Structure 1
Amino acid sequence: MLFNLFKKKEKKPEIDFSSIKTDIHSHLIPGIDDGAATMDESIILIQRMMDFGFKKIVTTPHIMADYYRNTSDIILRGLDAVREELHQRNIAVEFDAAAEYYLDETFENKLEKGDILTLGGKYVLFELSFVNYPKNLFEVIEKIQDKGYTPILAHPERYPYLGGEIENYQQIKESGCYLQLNILSLAGYYGKPAQKIAESLAENYLIDFIGSDLHRSKHADGLYQSLTTPYVHKLLTDYQLQNELI
């Protein structure tokens, strides 16, 4: 009992995510990738996002040839199912879907055919290998632009091969590709190296969008705690993020 009396009180956030309105990166369609496993889990996570101040959620299931062979049709049918469940439970939130495309041959084929789910009708969210630098990165960025889309690179702070020089990120930005930072990176969720890179990106004003990359409850717990960190506070109060444009 004495231990509980002297236990340090948990710091409560003074802000929430209402200033940016929209989360552009999550995995909340149940059962189609490594995100929410069931509809109940999906609804619980959506409600927690609402509690954190988000007014709109654009969920982005993985499309990855070797692991998550989702299609636009699979994602849109899943979107309809979640929307119907939200309606049945009288939960009022704007819920939409795009995709997080893995840079592989399948993505390039979909791009060529125009079979792309976009954020806000304009932006294409894509991710890279966490191990190997893609030699065709700038070629694919140009292909995305040639199709009339604006590319957004998901969580650039998590690719170790980019982490050595801030110029690597500046070069990507200069090519016309936007950068989306995972909020949890600034709370150290993915380790110290990713946190340091995330902080450097913030300090150099290279971040265009932030996203939850929400998969499960422990990510939601981390998002809540991240609101007490100085860098997240800075991003939400003194930074020109573009989330609300989507």
Structure 2
Amino acid sequence: MGLFSFLSKSSDPLCLPFATDIHCHILPDVDDGSPDVQTSAELVERMKSWGISRIIATPHITESSFENTPETLDRALDALKNELAKREISIDLSRSSENRIDDYFRTQLAAGNITPYPNNYILVENSFIQEPWQLDQFLFDLKLKGYRPILAHPERFFYYFEEHPNRYDELHRAGNLFQINVLSLAGSYTRKEKKAAEKLIEKGYVDFLGTDLHNHRHADTIDAYLRSKDASRHFAALKGRLFNDRVFI
């Protein structure tokens, strides 16, 4: 019997199987996520309804499109904290970043302008077009510098799940942690990303889940997913495996 061959049904919405979201785009007006502080506060309220009590926001740091700095990101974080205080919404809110592996990130990292997660975990993202050149060496060098790389949503890269699925084995066995999107499991992209995410669960390669929440449409998708049989079976398969609430103390 395969991992996902049993049936499970939940008539009431589930909570997410973690209380710490390590990947979301809810800081206002810094990337392709929330456009303003009001939307950000609304998204936080929705996240709380899923059982989230701690958010480490991860705005994009990407060459040309989102060349954020500590100043731009901290200003947005403070604005959201002030809005949440006005609305009397209590949540543990901080920020790191989702770092596209490109020249801008390398420059910012060398300058000390990247804020990692607690304990020097760091979220890095491949290009959607192709794997970064000398990725293995780059990740190895990050570890030599004391960082603990987490690969953002590897299930979303077609050049892995369609062309080189063995790369998942190579990367994870080399000590690189994988963060999978709840939206992938919910089928928000295509069936291929969902299938790739489920395969990574079967292999035991899912170390973190993240919402990758950008907007209310994403939140609606997650709301529906939490009422589905898929969510019940995914969460059962992940029970006891996730690091979300264990490594950032």
Specify every segment of 5 or more residues in structure 1 that has no aligned partner in the other structure, as ranges. 1-10
CA shift digits 1:3-38 (9 cap, x unpaired) = xxxxxxxx7444202x41111111111111100001
Paired residue type of 1:240: R
Paired residue type of 2:27: I
Partner of 1:4: none
Q: Is the 8 A contact 2:77 2:95 kept in 1?
A: yes
Quick check: 1:182 aligned with 2:181?
yes
Paired residue type of 1:213: D
CA distance in 2, matches of 1:14, 1:138: 40
Larger mean Cα displacement after TM superposition, 230-239 or 159-168: 230-239
- Structure with more contact order per residue of length (Cα contacts < 8 Å, sep ≥ 6): 2
1:31 to 29, 32, 36: 29
Larger mean Cα displacement after TM superposition, 205-214 or 108-117: 108-117
Distance change in 2, residues 1:13/1:161 (3 Å): farther
Quick check: 1:148 aligned with 2:149?
no
Specify every segment of 5 or more residues in structure 2 that has no aligned partner in the other structure, as ranges. 1-9
Quick check: 1:85 aligned with 2:83?
yes
Quick check: 1:209 aligned with 2:208?
yes
Distance change in 2, residues 1:232/1:120 (3 Å): farther
Listed as ranges, the matches of 1:86-105 within 5 Å are: 86-105=84-103
Displacement of 1:121: 3.7
Partner of 1:75: 73
1:122 to 113, 120, 123: 120
Q: Is the 8 A contact 1:28 1:36 kept in 2?
A: yes
Q: Is the 8 A contact 2:121 2:150 kept in 1?
A: yes
Give secondary structure in 1 for the equivalent of 2:47. Answer: helix
CA distance in 2, matches of 1:16, 1:56: 14
Identity of aligned residues (%): 34
Distance change in 2, residues 1:63/1:202 (3 Å): same
Give secondary structure in 1 for the equivalent of 2:118. Answer: coil
Paired residue type of 1:171: E
CA distance in 2, matches of 1:13, 1:31: 34
CA shift digits 1:147-204 (9 cap, x unpaired) = 2110011110110001135421111112221100001111211101111111101111
Q: Is the 8 A contact 2:172 2:205 kept in 1?
A: yes
For this pair of structures, how many residues does the alignment match? 235
Q: Is the 8 A contact 1:28 1:45 kept in 2?
A: yes
Note the aligned Cα RMSD (angstroms). 1.6
Q: Is the 8 A contact 1:199 1:231 kept in 2?
A: no
Partner of 1:110: 108
Larger mean Cα displacement after TM superposition, 93-102 or 109-118: 109-118
